[in-house]
A = this chain, B = another copy of it.
């Protein structure tokens, strides 16, 4: 039996989501779950991941299914498994069992969808085969998912309203994913003193996720070269003076993500220079979380993190000037060239398939500024919104080595002083923070952030 059938039914929560959607859009919507994708040949597929918009309303990761949402009703379109299916893949729940589990008002074979999809709005599926099917069935071309228009765009905007604010069913899943990710990080820290390669730490962390029957929500980053922001390499050896940066998050069986980064010393002890920078990054992290509540602009959190880090770097003698001036001039972005975080939900960058439609409030656009252009979220916080807070400090050769930057920031950066911090290549501290009516709930709070606590966890494995 499929694992998710053993979970409590989300039917009531799904019904409420449909009710909220019906209050925002009049036109029926059809959403497709998608198909699994061949890796090296069609039958050798990547693990199937259902489309997130589908998952939000259908609840469970059905493959090759569609749903129609109309006035709060849910119609499920799903074919019964063929006769060879049970031999090769075992018994799976049939259409009626799934319909009952998800609280569908009606259920049909996929062949019925054509007749019932006329005039429906939709959101593009992830895989191209399913997208081609959407186009054919709806008898119209479908723009790219970040360029939707008319009814599809109206549907996207309504879905964004819903998905921006997590209900209790979603939070239950998000907390489960966070809890497993916390254990994964603890396992990674503990295995580090005996590990020779980055890959062994990664294996310990992903092993926890697999053992808990979850998936990685994104490609794990486990590296002593944290200065490479999305470092997918993990073949480097670990040496005692290194910092290991691990950005690893689990995704629950129903598709809900977590996203945690910690940076720990391979030896179990931060060097004084590493510790000094670590505490600056942590100060930025803590300042952001302390100031979060409904109404606060996420962009202001980003600027707050920049200011806290700039002030810390001035104190260390690495930067010169007033922190606010340094941030104004984007000096912080030499060290912190990404945004303070992003939305989190069914996607690790939630709803990024829709471009900036979810991340940016209506009328707002990406900044041209070097220090702001990478910001993925620019909205006022609201209760129910889940975001990451992930300040970092990186010594990136392509930024530091750039003669234009060296000249432009000659007065602001004490390059000689910075040279004394060569053992700090990359530090990031990332938590998943839910905005509540009164402030925040840090879903990943069970994983320590303080340097001493991290050291203890690593040394426990020595």
Contact = CB atoms under 8 A, between A and B. Distances in A.
Interface of A: 1-3, 6, 37-47, 49, 51-52, 83, 86-91, 126-129, 197, 199-200, 202-204, 206-213, 218-219, 225, 228-235, 255, 337, 346-349, 352-353, 396-399
User: Taking each of A235, A346, A397, which has the highest tally of chain B beta carbons within 10 Å of its own beta carbon?
Assistant: A235
A323 B7 CA distance: 47
Contact of A44 (B42, B347, B399): B347
Nearest to A398: B86
A396 B3 CA distance: 20
A39 B45 contact: no
A285 to B, nearest CB: 21
A33 to B, nearest CB: 12
A31 to B, nearest CB: 14
A212 B196 CA distance: 11
A255 B127 CA distance: 24
This chain: copies in complex:
2
Given A199-B213, A398-B87, A39 B126 contact: yes
A6 B235 contact: yes
B230 A88 contact: yes
B219 A197 contact: no
Contacts of A38: 126
Contacts of A87: 228-229, 337, 396, 398-399
Contacts of A126: 38-41
Contacts of A232: 89
Nearest to A229: B88
Given A199-B211, A211-B203, A231 B89 contact: yes
